[in-house]
Amino acid sequence: MKKYDIAIIGGGPSGIASAIAIPDDLNVVLLEKNPSLGKKLLLTGGGRCNITNNKPLKELLNSFYQKNFLKHSFYTFSNDDLFSYFDIDFIEEDDNRIFPKSGKSHDVLDNLKKHLKNIDVKLNYEVKEIKDNFIINNEIKVSKLIIATGGVTYPQTGCGPQNYFLTTQPLTKIKYGLVPLITSENLSEIAGITLYNVVSTYNKVKIKGNVLISHVGLTGPGIINLSSEISRNLDYDILKDDKDLKFTISIDLCPEYSLEDLKNKFTNDFQLKGKTQINNYLKQLLTNNFIEFFLNKVKIPKNMQLSKINKKSKNRLIESLKHFNFKIAGFNKDLSKVTIGGIDLKYVNSKTMESKITPNLYFAGEVLDVDGPTGGYNLKIAFSTGFLAGLSASEK
């Protein structure tokens, strides 16, 4: 049986970060079931890799539900610490999102791999069983173990429900996060349209951002971030009951106007511009290609003059501009970018990433019950928790 000081299971960003943190004098094996490392990392940011987010640390932490748990890892391994492992340049885009200047996720992975020279990397190696005394697949015996196996989404990258059952560590409910929505109605006729800076609402949660209409439903940052909030609110667990969940979301198409302001504006404009056709009038408020679809929904002919629109229709128009509803038939599960839920944080020490139940067992990355919005937040989690797990496993 082959012996190592530390084994890391999972060669994604969190597993690689763990490996990088471990000093060279320790004997380390990194086990990855795919034929190559970082398969999901290469897909990130549409192939450009939004590697982290550069908001000031306090503000960044406030973006996470699990900020108390993540705090120590974020302070231990900052963005500057992360950048120090690269000999490439990075650029900052809107919302403090950081990308490699080359625009290639491959450059990120290649740089990270350079730091694995002293690690025994075993590819095409799927861990199927871990015995109590840290014997892996009856072949490898280790003193310490880091589990960095990721979540359930994008199974083609090596993730899946089985990742959670390598240990008996307690789990929370597992849900889809950052996931496009499938609408009950077919939207192909308006697919490709973007609604800019609208506010999408589910119950009391409001998220401002662009909404992109796809052939099957709604996506874009505004919807993707709202989807995680919706998912958290719905009662389900992928591991037990992966049913389709139906609900309705509402979009404020004119968030720059309050309902009152919009009413006043319409009253004035309808008097002053009575001869203007409604489809032309709405061009100042709505994306051009969306207007016809919108007017069909509110049942007002597109070429009707403002002076001909009666009070009831005008009120319906205003109401729909502020609350345009879409019935949702479910999540577009195959495109969920992150898993909500995972290894229950109650039983993991946030200062070390070590299990509070099984000494010498550590967790890192998305396998934990940690997730963030879109914008580099999830790779930030993977790198920081991964590095801390590697550091702690070497120090003890």
Where does this chain bind ligand FAD (CB under 6 A)?
9-15, 31-34, 39-41, 43-45, 49-50, 126-127, 148-150, 154, 157-159, 163, 337-338, 365-366, 376-379, 382
Task: Name, in order, each residue with C-beta under 8 angstroms of 322's C-beta and a sequence gap of 6 or more.
Answer: 252, 253, 254, 259, 262
Give me Rg for the CA atoms of the chain: 25
The distance of closest approach from Cβ of residue 163 to ligand FAD in the complex, given in angstroms and rounded to an integer, is 5
The distance of closest approach from Cβ of residue 160 to ligand FAD in the complex, given in angstroms and rounded to an integer, is 7
Residue (of 309, 320, 317, 302) closest to 273 by Cα position: 309
Residue nearer to ligand FAD on the CB measure, 149 or 287: 149
The distance of closest approach from Cβ of residue 216 to ligand FAD in the complex, given in angstroms and rounded to an integer, is 17
What residues are paired with 96 via a beta bridge? none
The distance of closest approach from Cβ of residue 10 to ligand FAD in the complex, given in angstroms and rounded to an integer, is 3
The distance of closest approach from Cβ of residue 100 to ligand FAD in the complex, given in angstroms and rounded to an integer, is 11
Q: Does residue 383 come out as left (phi exceeding 0), alpha (psi in the -120 to 50 range) or beta?
A: alpha
Contact 72, 351 (CB under 8 A): yes
In the block, which residue shows the tokens 């979301």?
A: 249
In the block, which residue shows the tokens 């199927």?
A: 128
Strands 205-213 and 194-202: antiparallel
Residue nearer to ligand FAD on the CB measure, 134 or 281: 134
Residue nearer to ligand FAD on the CB measure, 254 or 379: 379
The distance of closest approach from Cβ of residue 166 to ligand FAD in the complex, given in angstroms and rounded to an integer, is 6
Residue nearer to ligand FAD on the CB measure, 49 or 328: 49
CA 249/CA 183 separation, integer angstroms? 10
